[in-house]
Chain A
Amino acid sequence: MIEAAIQGTLNAFSFSVLPWTIVGVLIGLLTGIIPAIGVGTAMCIVLPLTYGMSPETALSLLIAIHAVGGTSGSIPSILINIPGTPLNAAALLDGYPMGQKGQAGRAISAALTASGLGGLFGGLVFFALIPVACNIVMAFGSPEAFLTALIGLAFLATLSRGSTIKGLVSGLVGILLSFVGLKGMTTLPRFTFGIFELYDGIPMLPMLIGLFALPEVIEFALRKRSVVTIDKAIMAGAGEWKQVLEGMKDVFRHFRAFLTGSIIGTVVGIIPGIGGQTASFVAYAQAKQLSKHPEMFGKGSVEGVIAPEAADNSKEGGSLLPTLAFGIPGSGLMAILMAGFLAHGIIPGPGLLMEHLDLTFTMLATLIFANIFGAILMIPIIGPISKICLVPGSIMAPLVLVIAALGGYAVDSTYFSMLMTFISGGLGWAMVKFGYDRICLLLGFILGIMVEQYFYVSISTSGFSFLLYPIPLILEFIFIFVLSFDFLKGLYSRRVR
């Protein structure tokens, strides 16, 4: 394992990988700053461009985008009271009041420092847990993999951010779509409707881009968002060096708030389906409880910025663990990242830690590097870069549309792929508009075919008796628990009331 760790870390800093990690950091920082673009959108658009790259390079690029998206998302929270990403919503509770007091530079600097160090914390916890995860997955075969994928699907209900029925339906439709083509253990092309291009199945990347990028474009175009107005006094404070240094010192002055946020973020990240927003709000509430000045929260307390920002980034390390070790994406962004793995022929899950342990360490090293580098890069250019969040929607819409269409087309250079991007875009927009969940659909699409494949391998090797083996029995219990979690939670809260 030590050899894999050294090899993986060296790979992360090799000449073929590091430049692309830096590109990923830049893309992640820029997309985090512009409200409503979304880190997921950026990852989807970039994914097809990574086809010619090695898995290490491509996945490092994606991890870097993912890692720092939340880092810069705090800037619009503090300056214009609009979170750059949903993960930064908690930071505006105290960040914006700080900006109004003329302390925008201090708030942004504290947020960036807490984010960078929080990412480091989450990465180190992930590193410490790899040996434990390795020991667990060594006992995994097809039956365990089948049940683990099934548990991933059970999270459809909890991942769904609205109606449980709609979440489940979205996931089930995703699974149905995954059956299209000549896939799994059948020798029959299914649901192709005579369309030759569908024999390989619905192309994942155009679907991914369509589902996540095009609805944003439609939103931009529909709303024709005007230029966001910004208070000149808030903006003036953003670039002051004295404030920037003060903000960095704040993280160490309020180390308890930082540590609380980091621990909560990591734990929430490890548990799939809870979501990053929960981590930052729980961290905020906990920091308030532990603070010597809780009355200052909501009025511009720097602790109220540090704790949620540390939680945002530390949860990335935590959520990598279930994604890589068990193939259960801990969040929506992890589901997109998982699609990236599959696009490069790497199946996240027990096999990954056994066969590609060095790749796991490459990603870990990239995660830590991206978090620290992202924060260091942002701090000196807070002032000028802050202006990017003012780019209006009527300019963003055609640019994102063109890049998304190109991304979809570049997958295999066919018009069909581009068309699939637009069809998926329409589906994604309707899902958003009518309360269905795109993340659940994606999760179903990714895991559906895996479940079918592992199921047939399991019954062909040991019949249905595999369901009675010790580890599968434990996994079945977890599966039932996850499925009934919402029901049990409702029952518990009714009893408490």
Chain B
Amino acid sequence: MSMRWRGETFFSLFLLALALLFIVISLGYPVRAAFGPLAVGIPAAILLVIQIILDTKNDTGIRLRSIGTADDALPRRNYVVTLSWIIGFPVATYFLGILLVFPLFTLAYIRANRWSWRLSICLAGGVFVLIYWVFGYLLRVSLYKGLVFR
């Protein structure tokens, strides 16, 4: 059982669960509100069941393209590291705010990829200027301060 096969099936199961959730909730709505979600959710659920059966049978004749751009040959460590960066970013922002986390993230990521300190600091500085000057000053976006500095 390859990793791609399992991942694909789990994702189809996730979508099926989502479609079923919409169907079940719709059943409690009046007819007018329920008609659309039911008319869409039921075919979606049926198609997903077919897809899951095809996945488990590994019917490559029908599945014309199931491989995305990500290369499955990449080591699992790459996935773990990348996901940690991506998930860590919004979590850190939630606590520490945009103005601090965004430039620090840029600095840390570029340094972690073994680029020079000079380049890392320049790009992090550029990000700070972009946030503070373009978004904060020119576009007048009120920047999220984070739970700690609120």
Contact = CB atoms under 8 A, between A and B. Distances in A.
Interface string B17-57: 01100100110011011001100110110011011001000
A414 B110 CA distance: 27
Contacts of A215: 69
A114 to B, nearest CB: 28
B33 A190 contact: yes
Given A432-B69, A435-B63, A176 B22 contact: yes
A19 to B, nearest CB: 14
Contacts of A425: 86
A219 B72 CA distance: 12
Given A410-B139, A413-B141, A429-B70, 10 more contacts: A179-B37, A218-B70, A219-B70, A222-B82, A394-B109, A402-B105, A402-B127, A406-B135, A422-B87, A433-B70
B51 A186 contact: no
Given A185-B32, A456-B32, A448 B11 contact: no
A222 B115 contact: no
A402 B135 contact: no
Given A218-B86, A448-B40, A434 B8 contact: yes
A172 B141 CA distance: 35
A176 B87 CA distance: 26
30 contacts: A162-B64, A162-B66, A164-B64, A166-B66, A169-B47, A172-B43, A173-B19, A176-B19, A179-B22, A190-B26, A190-B37, A191-B22, A191-B25, A217-B86, A221-B82, A222-B74, A394-B115, A397-B109, A398-B105, A398-B123, A402-B106, A402-B127, A403-B130, A406-B98, A413-B144, A429-B70, A433-B69, A434-B66, A436-B11, A436-B15
A403 B105 CA distance: 12
B65 A176 contact: no
- Which of B62, B70, B135 has its CB near the most chain A CB atoms (within 10 A)? B70
Nearest to A432: B68
Contacts of B137: none
A188 B29 CA distance: 8
A401 B130 CA distance: 13
The 4 A-B pairs with the shortest beta carbon distances in the complex, nearest first, are A162-B65, A172-B44, A433-B68, A435-B66
B85 to A, nearest CB: 6
Nearest to B12: A434
A327 B142 CA distance: 35
A168 B123 CA distance: 42
A405 B93 contact: yes
Interface in B96-113: 98, 102, 105-106, 109-110, 113
Contacts of B43: 168, 172
A223 interface: yes
A394 B110 contact: yes
B89 A176 contact: no
Contacts of A163: 51, 62-66
Interface of B: 7-8, 11-12, 15, 18-19, 22, 25-26, 29-30, 32-33, 36-37, 40-41, 43-44, 47-48, 50-51, 54, 62-71, 74, 78-79, 82, 85-87, 89-90, 93-94, 98, 102, 105-106, 109-110, 113, 115, 119, 123, 127, 130-131, 135, 139, 141-142, 144
A328 B37 CA distance: 22
Question: Chain A contact residues: over half helix, strand or loop, or mixed?
Answer: helix
Contacts of A401: 86, 89, 105
Contacts of A397: 109
Contact of A176 (B40, B64, B74): B40
B110 A398 contact: yes
A221 B65 contact: no
B80 to A, nearest CB: 11
Given A161-B65, A188-B33, A430-B11, A395 B89 contact: no
A296 interface: no
Given A418-B93, A435-B65, A165 B51 contact: yes
Nearest to A184: B36
A395 B141 contact: no
A172 B30 CA distance: 21
Contact of B50 (A165, A217, A402): A165
A215 B86 CA distance: 11
B135 A165 contact: no
Interface string A21-62: 000000000000000000000000000010010000000000
B36 A452 contact: yes
A223 to B, nearest CB: 7
B44 A169 contact: yes
Contact of B15 (A173, A214, A223, A422): A173
Contacts of A191: 22, 25, 37
A435 B19 contact: no
A456 B102 CA distance: 46
Given A184-B36, A219-B69, A405-B93, A395 B48 contact: no
- Which of A217, A402, A418 has its CB near the most chain B CB atoms (within 10 A)? A402
Contact of A186 (B33, B41, B113, B131): B33
A224 interface: yes
A254 B41 CA distance: 53
A429 B144 CA distance: 26
B78 A222 contact: yes
A173 B40 CA distance: 8
B36 A179 contact: yes
- Which of B7, B37, B50 has its CB near the most chain A CB atoms (within 10 A)? B37
Interface string A429-454: 11111111000000000001000100
